[in-house]
Amino acid sequence: MSSRRAERLVLTMPPDAGLARLARRVCFHFLREHGFRALEARRRARAVERAIPGLLKPRAGARRDSSAALVLTLSSKDRSLEVIGRLGARGEARRLIRMDRPFAT
C-alpha cells in the first residue's frame, strides 16, 4: 500500500447561490480523483450543492458582508476526505461533508 499525500483544494467564488452547481462539479471531480465511485461521488457532491444556500444566509444576530467570498476547502487526508465551507476569510467554518476514504482490496 502506498502512502497518500494530503491535498487541499480551495475554491473561492462570489457569494451567489447560482454558482452552487459549479461547486458540485468541482466536488464531484475531487471525490472521483480520490477513489470514490461515480454514484457515491455524485450523491456527496449534491449534498454540498444543497448546503451552499445555507452558508450564504446570515446567522441570527450576525451581519452579512455582501462582498465576502464563498470559500470551499476540499481536503484529503490519509483516511478521510472533507469539504468545509465558509463565507469570507473570517466567517464561521462549517463542515459540509466528511467521509472515510475507500480502500482498494
List pLDDT tens digits, range 6-33: 889 999 999 888 999 999 999 999 999 9
38 grid coordinates: 461515480
Q: What is the value of pTM for the model shown?
A: 0.83
List pLDDT tens digits, range 36-47: 999 999 999 999
Give DSSP secondary structure letters for the chain. -PPPPPEEEEEEE-S-GGGHHHHHHHHHHHHHHTT--HHHHHHHHHHHHHHHHHHHSPPTTPPP-TTPPEEEEEEE-SSEEEEEEEESTTSPPEEEEEEEPP---
